[in-house]
Amino acid sequence: MIEIGLISAIILVLILPLTLHVIEKNLEIFLFIMGVLVVSISHFWGIEPAWSMHLIRESLVEPIMITLAVITIGFLVYFFRNKITNTVVNIERKIGSKLFCFVLIMVLGLLSSIITAIMAAIILVEIISALKLDKKYEIKLTVLSCFSIGLGAVLTPIGEPLSTITIAKLKGEPFNADFFFLFRELGLYVLPGILLLAIIGSIINPSVKKGENIKGLVEEKSSNIKEIFVYAGKVYIFIMALILLGSGFKPIVDMYIIKFPTTLLYWINSLSAVLDNATLAAAEISPKMNLPQIKYILIGFLISGGMLIPGNIPNIISAGRLKITSWEWAKIGLPIGFVFMVVYFIVFSLIFS
């Protein structure tokens, strides 16, 4: 009976945000309600882990670090935004578009684990809005940068919700995951990916022309102080909801998901192209998995999360503010993501065979 209840909840979590606009617009609240529901189902049937002071404390404390990072970096971007954008535009003019794109993709990818993926995406939007480049070129640059941000942000638990929830679920035995756990385990795979994305960004559309009459992407609205706190509040609720979901779904993970072949999970997780990868991580990651399984799962999330707009927070922020359509994103994100999925699959197959 409990399996039916939890599996039904998983289906609702996966399907409703895609089919109901009101839920999509209020995703954090929806996931929090579902988190409370699945933990309550486990508690009712007497299955551990259920409601406990440890879970309540964890759900309240774990989101604090990334929320404070969002607020801090948000204020820095707000007060120094014009200086930042003017500086990068001057740099672009001096070094040229090709080298500038390489540097931008590299720097945002590497910094996203420190300044958070959300703030890296906001900085990206400000920079793209300030540039005077062709719209098609700027869309490519935005998608590649979001791939890079999504990859780099996983390296610390303050980078993005996916890394926060992963560390929260693996901080006990047998992994005892600390702040640098994901950097140690995934850095070898993530950093070359960021470099490759930067190289692609430097060679695409080399004949692009600059000028005042070029129609590029324009930000819909600028950040303000209220928006910073709204973002931070949403992130806090989002992380709290994911912790509850992860705890509530643990019986299903332990009974079924960890028994799936690792390679099958890797390709199944291409679903994160249309579903937020942190939500899927909350449902799948378990300390009962082995390290290769976890690496397969996380890399699958990270790559496929950049393929379509709903897959990752940086995509949602950038596409929404720059008015990039789903089709415009998919034309670039899907082929790049598919190639990266295949390349990483081959690499992992050779390493873990």
- The share of the chain scoring above pLDDT 90, in percent, equals 26
What would the pLDDT profile of 232-253 be if each residue is shown by its tens digit? 888 788 778 877 877 777 777 6
Helix (H, G, I), strand (E, B) or coil at 291: helix
> Which residues 6+ apart lie within 8 Å of 77 measured at CB?
84, 119, 122, 123, 126, 223
Single-letter amino acid, residue 53? M
Tell me how far apart the alpha carbons of residues 59 and 61 are, in angstroms, rounded to a whole number.
Answer: 6
Mean pLDDT of 97-109: 91
Out of 128-132, 191-195, 224-228, 239-243, the most confident range is 191-195
Q: How far is CA 96 from CA 100, 214, 226, in A?
A: 6, 16, 36
> Which residues 6+ apart lie within 8 Å of 14 measured at CB?
271, 275, 279
> Who wins on pLDDT, 288 or 197?
197
Query: Predicted confidence band at 336 (pLDDT cuts at 50, 70, 90)?
Result: very high
Single-letter amino acid, residue 349? S
Instruction: Identify the pLDDT of residue 223.
Output: 58
Rounded to 10°, the helix 53-61/63-95 angle is 20
> Who wins on pLDDT, 51 or 304?
304
With CA atoms as reference, report the closest residue to 113 among 197, 189, 187, 195.
187
Average pLDDT taken over every residue of the chain: 83
Out of 51-55, 250-254, 304-308, the most confident range is 304-308
> Who wins on pLDDT, 153 or 69?
153
Query: Predicted confidence band at 145 (pLDDT cuts at 50, 70, 90)?
Result: very high
Mean pLDDT of 331-343: 93
> Who wins on pLDDT, 223 or 112?
112
Instruction: Identify the pLDDT of residue 190.
Output: 96
With CA atoms as reference, report the closest residue to 305 among 158, 127, 162, 142.
162
Instruction: Identify the pLDDT of residue 213.
Output: 54
> Who wins on pLDDT, 75 or 108?
108
> Which residues 6+ apart lie within 8 Å of 264 measured at CB?
none
Instruction: Identify the pLDDT of residue 45.
Output: 65
Mean pLDDT of 320-329: 84
What would the pLDDT profile of 72-91 be if each residue is shown by its tens digit? 877 887 788 778 778 877 88
- Structure token digits, residue 339: 């190639």
What would the pLDDT profile of 153-177 be if each residue is shown by its tens digit? 999 998 988 898 899 889 888 999 9
Maximum CA pair distance of the chain? Answer: 66
- Structure token digits, residue 329: 């994103």
Instruction: Identify the pLDDT of residue 273.
Output: 65
- The share of the chain scoring above pLDDT 70, in percent, equals 88
Mean pLDDT of 88-102: 85
Mean pLDDT of 14-23: 76
Asked whether residue 264 carries a pLDDT value surpassing 60, the answer given is yes
Asked whether residue 222 carries a pLDDT value surpassing 60, the answer given is no
Tell me how far apart the alpha carbons of residues 98 and 123 are, in angstroms, rounded to a whole number.
Answer: 19
